[in-house]
Structure 1
Amino acid sequence: MELTLRPVSPDDLDLFFDHQQDPAAVWMAAFTPADLPSRVAFDARQARILAEPSIVVRTIEVDGVAVGHVLKYELDGDPEVSYWIGREHWGRGIGTTALARFLAVEITERPVFARVAQDNVGSLEVLRRNGFVIVAEGSGPAEGRGRMVKEYRLELSADTVGPAELPG
């Protein structure tokens, strides 16, 4: 598997929109915008994201095919990472490898944070494999589920040792 990260191209946006229309993926992600079904709202949000200099977003390619994206943004003054992999690519180590490379090359500041629904064991494992540790528990409104959901806040600190070896 050859995994690369590259800048987002306009052609990637159709794929990203399609990913966010998958009910199983939206349920798993949980903390999504309320207006996911709206292409107009999606395009406006993506335009803001891509124009914002403090946000770093990269398309994930595997063997030359775009399969998702990874990004860093600010939430309440803290850097946070997030990612979305198309469901047809889950379980292959793509999220773990993409996040590891993103953290090694694009986001070297520490600490950096992430949030995950407590029942999203796959995403929690991706974060743990990249050296993130749970620092808080809480709950928040999850538009992807239409209710409050328990979540973890995780941190990758400056003294946390990351993965010993990148998978793939």
Structure 2
Amino acid sequence: MSDDMRPDVRPAMRPDTRLDVRLRDVQETDLAVFFEQEHDTEAVRRSRFIPRPRDAFMTHWATQILADDTVFVQTVTVDDAPAGHIVAWWDQHDEQRHRFVGYWLGRPYWGRGVGTKALALFLRCERNRPLLADPFIENTASIRLLERHGFRPVGTVRHGADEHTLLVLTAPL
């Protein structure tokens, strides 16, 4: 494994209980924050997600996320400022439709308990089970976050050249 692909080995941090983490509906002004987060080089390295040009990003959000009433998306806020988003959507996989969850938090919020609290809040509202997630196999922080909420690894999937861990949540909260 090359030096730039080392898994996240930071010591476990205690959640910052002073942070006010909430979910709310996405506002148009949030999209600029999400766009910048999608282009963060360290986040791209950890997620293996290819960032889109601005026009493609805005079109995707307008037509594939916000206009689709089967998609459930929320902005994660910390002390009333947008910190990222969590989204659940239906995807065709192996001739079956599956419900997936994904999230993206800005780097200033990593390791502070924001993802843990935000995902807990989201899973109280997103009741579809089974619920799948497929983080990049070397994104150990994301895998740990999902496992903390009851997701269990069931295999791997490939997205292009990259291997991703497939996790599933079957039990309601």
TM-score bracket relative to the smaller structure: 0.7 to 0.9
Partner of 1:42: 57
TM-superposed deviation, 1:158:
2.6
> Residue 92 in 1 paired to residue 117 in 2?
no
User: Alpha-carbon deviations, 1:124-168, whole Å to 9, x = none?
Assistant: 011001100001123221xxxxxx112110000037xx5xxxxxx
What secondary structure, in the 3-state scheme, does the structure 1 residue paired with 2:143 have?
A: helix
Partner of 1:166: none
> Residue 139 in 1 paired to residue 158 in 2?
yes
Given candidates 103, 119, 143, the residue that maps to 2:138 is: 119
Question: How does the TM-score come out when normalised to structure 1?
Answer: 0.85
Given candidates 37, 44, 57, the residue that maps to 1:26 is: 44
- For 1:16 and 1:88, locate their aligned partners in 2 and report how far apart those are by CA, in whole Å: 13
TM-superposed deviation, 1:87:
0.9
- For 1:7 and 1:138, locate their aligned partners in 2 and report how far apart those are by CA, in whole Å: 31
Moved more, 150-159 or 5-14: 150-159
Partner of 1:145: none
> Residue 59 in 1 paired to residue 75 in 2?
yes
Unaligned runs of 5+ in 1: 142-147, 163-168
User: Alpha-carbon deviations, 1:72-111, whole Å to 9, x = none?
Assistant: 0111110000000001211111111111110112x11211
Partner of 1:108: 127
What secondary structure, in the 3-state scheme, does the structure 1 residue paired with 2:135 have?
A: strand
What secondary structure, in the 3-state scheme, does the structure 2 residue paired with 1:123 have?
A: helix
State percent identity of aligned pairs.
36
What secondary structure, in the 3-state scheme, does the structure 2 residue paired with 1:42 have?
A: helix
Q: What is the aligned length?
A: 150
What secondary structure, in the 3-state scheme, does the structure 1 residue paired with 2:112 have?
A: coil
Q: What is the Cα-based RMSD across aligned positions, in Å?
A: 1.3
- Runs of at least 4 residues of structure 1 off by over 6 A? none
Unaligned runs of 5+ in 2: 1-18
- For 2:141 and 2:119, locate their aligned partners in 1 and report how far apart those are by CA, in whole Å: 13
- For 1:32 and 1:127, locate their aligned partners in 2 and report how far apart those are by CA, in whole Å: 22
Whether the 8 Å CA contact 2:134–2:157 is kept in 1: the answer is: no
- AA aligned to 1:69 is H
User: Alpha-carbon deviations, 1:12-69, whole Å to 9, x = none?
Assistant: 0100001011111111111345xx1x11111100101100001011000011111000
- For 1:31 and 1:13, locate their aligned partners in 2 and report how far apart those are by CA, in whole Å: 17
